[in-house]
Amino acid sequence: MRLSDLLKYNDIVIQCHDNPDADALASGYALYWYFKKMNKEARFIYRGINKIKKSNLLIMIDALEERKIYCIN
């Protein structure tokens, strides 16, 4: 499967694994950005037992465009 194969869908959810690190957040946001640029309805979410607490990740999330990561805890 290629990333472009997903363009046939209009509603796309990108979900990080529990307790995501900076790589997971950055790659998830890159996917979100790609799908939005392709005019898709994309959501970038995180769900896990643990809330994101690391200061560097909180700064990263805060810096992302319009805070596009929805934390569901």
Would you place residue 53 in the very low, low, confident or very high pLDDT band (cuts 50, 70, 90)? confident
- 23-32, 33-42, 55-64: least confident range: 55-64
Compute the distance between CA of residue 35 and CA of residue 19 in angstroms, rounded to an integer.
24
Compute the distance between CA of residue 71 and CA of residue 51 in angstroms, rounded to an integer.
8
Compute the distance between CA of residue 43 and CA of residue 10 in angstroms, rounded to an integer.
11
Which residues 6+ apart lie within 8 Å of 69 measured at CB?
16, 25, 28, 29, 44, 45, 46, 61
21 neighbors 51 (Cβ within 8 angstroms):
no
Give the pLDDT of residue 2. 93
* pLDDT greater than 80 at residue 6: yes
